[in-house]
Each structure stands twice: as structure tokens, then as C-alpha cells.
Structure 1
């Protein structure tokens, strides 16, 4: 097992530099570097101190499954929601996306369908129109995107999407996590 590599991955996930990890554990940046390259082995006390700062339990650290991330999501992994009254269907393409920084969905708008209104936030939204056309209302302004076109906006104002096509519109939408 490459202990150093796992320590480095945990540090990077926490957004810490080697120097910051060293400061929080009373170790030098050079020593952290040696640990991460498996050139040195920490004492148990030092190891537990590092794990505490990195927010990882020893059993989690040594559990082989925690290092494997899910990369491919199949149709059976998707989660669905349908609002027949407003005429839209959402398919969450990554089932745990609400825990991640991006939330990719497939949005289907029925004829005259509209997606719910969102409050202003710090998130960003990207969309690609697979079929049909969509109107995006941001504040008082409206924008239309047709099949093969892309939308991208910062969600600093109330925003909403409407079907602008005489039929079903389908798009992929990815929104980033809001940090309000």
C-alpha cells in the first residue's frame, strides 16, 4: 500500500498545501513531502495526527474501497422526477450529484412545459440543447437557444427555462454548487 500517495490525495481533497498540513500537525513541509513520496514513515502518533487534520478515520484510510471512485454511471443509476403539471421531466445523471460541485441533469420539457424558477445564487449553469428549443429567462431578460446551441450563465438573478418549441425539447444542464 502506498501510504504517502493516499496522504497526498487526502491533502489535495482538503485543499491544503504541504506547508499548511505541516503547520497544522507541527511537521515541516519537507517532512510532509518525504511522507507523500514514501521516503519516510511516520510514527503512529504522527500518522494519527495527520489523519485527524485530514478528517479521515484510520479504518477509512486503510479501506481499499474508499480509493475507488465511481466513474461510469449507467441508466439504472439515474434518478428521475416528473412534474406533469408544469410539463417537465428531470433525469439526474449522477445520483449523488447533490453532494458534488456539479449537478448534471437531462431535462425534458413537454410542449408548453416550463422548468421551476430558481432563486439567485452564486452557481453557474451550462446547458446544451439536444432537441427543440428553450427560452431562458434571467431576471427580466430572455434568451433563446435552439438544437445544437449552448447556454451558459451565472445565476445571480432569478431564472427559469421554458420550452420554445412546438414539441418536446430535451437538453443537458449542468449547474455548479451554490456557495451562498
Structure 2
């Protein structure tokens, strides 16, 4: 059985939208989006189609399972989706397209000196990271952990968390979340 609320939330987060932004685009209320994501209500067919259109997903993709003969296995740089956040001094590359339909979501985040990732609130799941270049400070519920090139981090995502680059060079991190949250 498909968890429609979970999939809608994952797609919204994957598009870097708040509940309010999504609601505004659909002329709905933030409360209604929250109820959908928590499976407290079900959308009408028309509302679901509108939601999927705004979130950039075809109906058959939303309801399909990732397994199967035609599932893509290898992804190249041309498949990646990149989003720069100049305010935070970071760039995220989604390195597996449509990862929201999978159990894990890997990204590569590049953080400029003095920059940081978005601050993530507590959420269900686990996160793993491997520092490819530079050094970052993992802030996990106000506790700071320095993670250097070649080192990894792993934690339950049930506390506020984010990465900072307090160094003088660019930091690149392979970061994987389960379930997909980026």
C-alpha cells in the first residue's frame, strides 16, 4: 500500500517547498497540506493531479514502484539536479534523480567557507555522510562534531541538524538520508 502523505511530503521537500509555499501554489491552506502529509485526509482526484503537477511528477511515476526491469541503475552527471543557495553558501546536487521513490536519498553538498547547509528540524530516519573534501562541523542538537576529509558521520535524524564549513576551503560531502528528506 502506498503512503500518499509520506510521498507528498517527500516530493515537497525534494522541491525545497514549505507547506505554505505548496499551499499557495495550489490555492489551498497550509493546514490542509499538513493533514494530507499526515494522512489525516485524502485529496480529491483533481487535487492530487494538481499537487503532482506542481511537484513535477507524472501520475504513473507517483504510483509506480522503483523495482522492475526498466528501472534505471546507473546515473551520469547529466542526470543530476543541482540547486545553489547563495544565502547559505552551499550547492546541493541530487545525484539520483527521483530518489524520493526510493528508501535512500544521496546528495553531494558543496559548502563554501563560512557557509552551511539548511537547518533540518527533527524528523524520522537516519543520515550518513562522507567528507570528500575539506572539513565540516556537524551540528547535532547544538552539539558540534568536527568531521575531516576521509571521515564519516552517522546519526538518527530525531534532533535538529546541519553542517557548517568554518574552514578556509570548499567542503564537499556525500550525504545520504533515509527516508528521502533533502
C-alpha displacement of 1:119 = 1.0
> Larger radius of gyration, structure 1 or 2?
1
Highest RCO, 1 vs 2 (Cα 8 Å, sep ≥ 6): 2
Say whether the 8 Å CA contact 1:134–1:164 is kept in structure 2. yes
Q: Work out whether 1:135 is the aligned partner of 2:134.
A: no
Paired with 2:180 and 2:141, the residues of 1 have a C-alpha distance of 18
The 1:99/1:158 distance shift into structure 2, 3 A limit, reads: same
Paired with 2:177 and 2:140, the residues of 1 have a C-alpha distance of 15
Unaligned runs of 5+ in 1: 1-12, 15-65
Alignment partner, residue 173 of structure 1: 175
Q: Work out whether 1:95 is the aligned partner of 2:76.
A: no
Q: Secondary structure of the residue that 1:67 maps to in structure 2? A: coil
Unaligned runs of 5+ in 2: 3-67
Q: Deviations over 1:103-147 (max 9, x none)?
A: 100100011011001111111110000110011111121111000
Write out aligned runs for 1:8-157 (5 A): 67-157=69-159
Q: How does the TM-score come out when normalised to structure 2?
A: 0.60
Say whether the 8 Å CA contact 1:128–1:149 is kept in structure 2. yes
**Runs of 4+ in structure 1 displaced over 2 angstroms?**
none
RMSD of equivalent CA atoms? 2.1
Q: How does the TM-score come out when normalised to structure 1?
A: 0.61
Number of aligned positions between the proteins: 117
